[in-house]
Amino acid sequence: MAMKCVLMNSFIKNLALKNHDKCAAAITRFISTQKSASSKLFFLPASPSAKLLQPTTTALTATRFQKMDSKNFSTSGPQPSNLTFRQLLDYATFTYTYILGDNASKKAIIIDPVLERVERDAKLLKELQFDLIYALNTHMHADHITGSGELGRIFQNCKSVISKHTSAQAQKYIDDGDVIEFGKFKLECLSTPGHTDGCVSYLLRDHGLVFTGDALFVRGCGRTDFQQGIPQLLYNSVHKKLFSLPDHFLIYPGHDYNGNMSSTVWEEKTYNPRLTKPFEEFKKIMDNLNLPKPKLIDVAVPGNMVDGLLDKK
User: What are the residues binding its own copies (CB under 8 A)?
Assistant: 4, 8, 12, 15-16, 18, 20, 23-24, 34, 36-37, 39-48, 51, 53-57, 59, 61, 73, 77-81, 86-91, 97, 117, 120, 124, 127-128, 205-209, 246-250, 258-262, 264-267, 270-271
Reference 217, options 66, 69, 128, 96; nearest CA is: 96
Cα gap 158→280, rounded to integer Å: 43
The 3-state DSSP class for residue 150 equals helix
For residue 166, the minimal CB distance to its own copies (Å) is 26
Using alpha carbons, list the distances in angstroms from residue 146 to 7, 138, 195. Answer: 52, 10, 17
What number of residues does the chain have?
Answer: 313
For residue 164, the minimal CB distance to its own copies (Å) is 26
Cα gap 15→253, rounded to integer Å: 42
N- to C-terminal Cα separation, the chain: 66
Cα gap 115→24, rounded to integer Å: 45
Cα gap 252→87, rounded to integer Å: 9
DSSP string, 60-125: -BHHHHHH--HHHHHHT-S-SSSEEEEEEEETTTTEEEEEEEETTT-EEEEES-BGGGHHHHHHHH
For its own copies, the closer of residues 76 and 237 by Cβ is 76
For its own copies, the closer of residues 109 and 230 by Cβ is 109
For its own copies, the closer of residues 210 and 233 by Cβ is 210
For residue 159, the minimal CB distance to its own copies (Å) is 24
Nearby residues of 192 by Cβ (< 8 Å), 6 or more positions away: 199, 200, 201, 212, 213, 215, 216, 234, 237, 238, 241, 242
For its own copies, the closer of residues 132 and 245 by Cβ is 245
For its own copies, the closer of residues 261 and 289 by Cβ is 261
For its own copies, the closer of residues 158 and 203 by Cβ is 203
Cα gap 246→173, rounded to integer Å: 28
For residue 212, the minimal CB distance to its own copies (Å) is 14
Positive/negative CA dihedral, 153, 158, 164, 165: negative
Q: Are 146 and 307 in contact (CB under 8 A)?
A: yes
For its own copies, the closer of residues 205 and 240 by Cβ is 205
For residue 236, the minimal CB distance to its own copies (Å) is 22
For residue 224, the minimal CB distance to its own copies (Å) is 25
> Backbone phi, then psi, for 187, in 5-degree steps?
-105, 120
For its own copies, the closer of residues 39 and 167 by Cβ is 39
For residue 222, the minimal CB distance to its own copies (Å) is 20
Q: Are 61 and 82 in contact (CB under 8 A)?
A: yes
For its own copies, the closer of residues 123 and 312 by Cβ is 123
For residue 8, the minimal CB distance to its own copies (Å) is 5
For residue 143, the minimal CB distance to its own copies (Å) is 16
